[in-house]
Amino acid sequence: MIECMIAAPRSGGGKTVMTCALLAALRQRGMNPCAFKCGPDYIDPMFHRAVLGLESHNLDLFLASADTVRTLYARYGAGHGAAVCEGVMGFYDGLGGTTDRASAWHLADTLDLPVLLVLRPKGASLTLAATVRGLQAFRPQSHLAGILLNDCKPMLYQTLAPMLERETGLPVLGYLPPMEEASFASRHLGLYTAGEITDLQARVKALGIQAQKTLDLDRIRALCSRPERPPLPDTVPVPHRTRIAVARDEAFCFCYAETLDALRDAGAEPVFFSPLRDHALPGNCAGLYLPGGYPELHARALGENAVLREAIGRLVRAGLPTVAECGGYLYLGQALEDTAGTFWPMAGVLPGQGIRTGHLVRFGYAELTAHADSLLLRTEESLPIHAFHYWDSTQNGTACTAHKPQSGRSWDCGFATPTLFASFAHLYWAGTPRLARRFVAAAQHYEREQGACLHPQN
């Protein structure tokens, strides 16, 4: 099995493009690859999924323990001929930007992955070798195994490759030339999502064809081959699954694949619906999950779908077990400001209004501690979370306290009751399985209590 990580000295070096190119080329060669993303990013795995036609999975050593990460890697890598993990930020950049915890290097070290370092030779040549040498020496075991050049013209590659091999001792395993036809544009939360790029499959195909020409796939295969990992034990069948409605469309697209599996493992059947287009929740659902995404970009359509948002408001107020994260949290508010400054009505469950700030409000990892028992947490219980949002709320709640372990900054946030948990926090359910168990248990209780009256059409 081929196993490797694609990393870079800094953000903006082309990790996603190189990862997609390698995945496309391996797929074209019949290697049946799978993909992973280091860290909490939602968007890059969408591109992996567009290349492969199957889910990519996040591996995060702040949001989950090392043992859990190893288990997730084994679970989702099983049965594949190759596993490619895309790194995050700069190679050693971890928690708070001042430690290597949860960095790409930390993950490579935990999983013992060979690392292919992506370099973009813009305005540097020999200094690239000095950069690599520094990365090699920064930790006793760097796991750096090879170099890939991105956005590099063929003639420049012929000059740089032998120099880099001589100066660093690492093999240079190919390059991607400048490819305007295969670039991915960015905006305030990172890259545009895969679903927003209309010609994405043509771009992916072009990357795969180019990678076949200019990446040394045979050397990569030889360098990154690893023994097959032992299979995981079979899961125990669940006799009855409780249906939980999960928002999924352009406005609510930030949902980890592992979260859905955590819900399934706990006995749920996730059932998808669109708050943009549907006029009722799926029938016989006993829970509601509203993940994050871009509701601010679709505030008018969400507001104008009054039938569904009002029905959701009634059900949540009446006790339907509900979890809302970030964008889902904004949807449960009174109103949401769009990018033009217009406010549109939302579900009206929570007291605040979603407002545009024009800058990052809260960003990065934090520890969330509950002040009282609720749907997901118990008094004084803590769990790791991630936050990343440009919109804020006029009322953020006081059910929990979020604390950033590096800076020491703290703030109150969230609304929580026995049937509701809503905040800007992104939760990593696979790293804290009790969240899924408690949510599903509450949904099962609701299902039993409602019985034949369980809403079929709201």
Q: Which domain holds residue 269?
A: 242-453
Same domain assignment for residues 209 and 278: no
Query: Residue 27 is encoded by which pair of tokens?
Result: 């797929």
Same domain assignment for residues 73 and 117: yes
User: Residue 101 above 80 pLDDT?
Assistant: yes
Percent of the chain with pLDDT over 70: 94
Per-residue confidence (pLDDT) for residue 333, from 0 to 100: 98
DSSP 401-457: EEE-TTT--EEEEBEEETTEEEESPEE-GGGSTHHHHHHHHHHHHHHHHHGGGS-S-
Chain centre distance of CA 148 = 24
- The Cα 413–Cα 221 span in angstroms is 48
Residue 247 DSSP label: E
The residue among 24 and 238 whose pLDDT is bigger is: 24
Q: Which of 159, 194, 224 is the last residue of a domain?
A: 224
Q: Which of 224, 257, 272 is the last residue of a domain?
A: 224
Contact of 103 with 88, CB cutoff 8 Å: yes
- What crossing angle do the helices spanning 104-111 and 66-77 adopt, rounded to 10°? 70
Query: With the C-alpha atoms ordered 175, 180, 183, 187, is the resulting torsion angle positive or negative?
Result: positive
Contact of 170 with 147, CB cutoff 8 Å: yes
The closest alpha carbon to 330, from 358, 304, 361, 293, belongs to 293
Contact of 2 with 82, CB cutoff 8 Å: yes
Contact of 356 with 296, CB cutoff 8 Å: yes
Same domain assignment for residues 308 and 405: yes
CATH of the domain at 404: 3.40.50.880
pLDDT in tens, 176-191: 999 876 555 554 444 4
Per-residue confidence (pLDDT) for residue 450, from 0 to 100: 87
Domain presence at residue 52: yes
Domain presence at residue 18: yes
- The Cα 75–Cα 55 span in angstroms is 13
Same domain assignment for residues 113 and 167: yes
Per-residue confidence (pLDDT) for residue 201, from 0 to 100: 81
DSSP 88-137: -SSTT--GGGTS-TTSHHHHHHHHT--EEEEE--SS-SHHHHHHHHHHHH
pLDDT in tens, 337-377: 999 999 999 999 999 999 999 888 888 999 999 999 999 99
Query: Residue 194 is encoded by which pair of tokens?
Result: 């895969």
| pTM for this prediction | 0.92
Domain presence at residue 230: no
Domain presence at residue 93: yes
Same domain assignment for residues 219 and 267: no
- The Cα 138–Cα 440 span in angstroms is 45
Contact of 399 with 381, CB cutoff 8 Å: no
pLDDT in tens, 217-231: 999 999 999 887 777
Same domain assignment for residues 332 and 265: yes
- What crossing angle do the helices spanning 43-52 and 200-214 adopt, rounded to 10°? 80
The closest alpha carbon to 326, from 258, 417, 427, 431, belongs to 427
- The Cα 345–Cα 331 span in angstroms is 9
Contact of 429 with 263, CB cutoff 8 Å: yes
- What crossing angle do the helices spanning 15-28 and 43-52 adopt, rounded to 10°? 20
Same domain assignment for residues 359 and 292: yes
Q: Which of 156, 189, 224 is the last residue of a domain?
A: 224
Same domain assignment for residues 387 and 430: yes
User: Residue 192 above 90 pLDDT?
Assistant: no
Domain presence at residue 237: no
Same domain assignment for residues 264 and 200: no
Structural domains counted in the chain: 2
Half-sphere exposure of 371 (CA within 13 A, CB side): 13
Count of C-beta atoms within a 10 Å radius of residue 434: 16
Which residue numbers are catalytic?
326
- The Cα 288–Cα 325 span in angstroms is 11
Q: In the chain, how long is the greatest CA-to-CA distance?
A: 74
Same domain assignment for residues 179 and 287: no
Sheet holding 115-119: strands in order across?
57-59, 33-38, 82-86, 2-7, 115-119, 144-150, 172-176
Same domain assignment for residues 331 and 385: yes
Q: Which residue do the tokens 């076949």 mark?
A: 212
Same domain assignment for residues 309 and 408: yes
Domain presence at residue 189: yes
User: Residue 52 above 80 pLDDT?
Assistant: yes
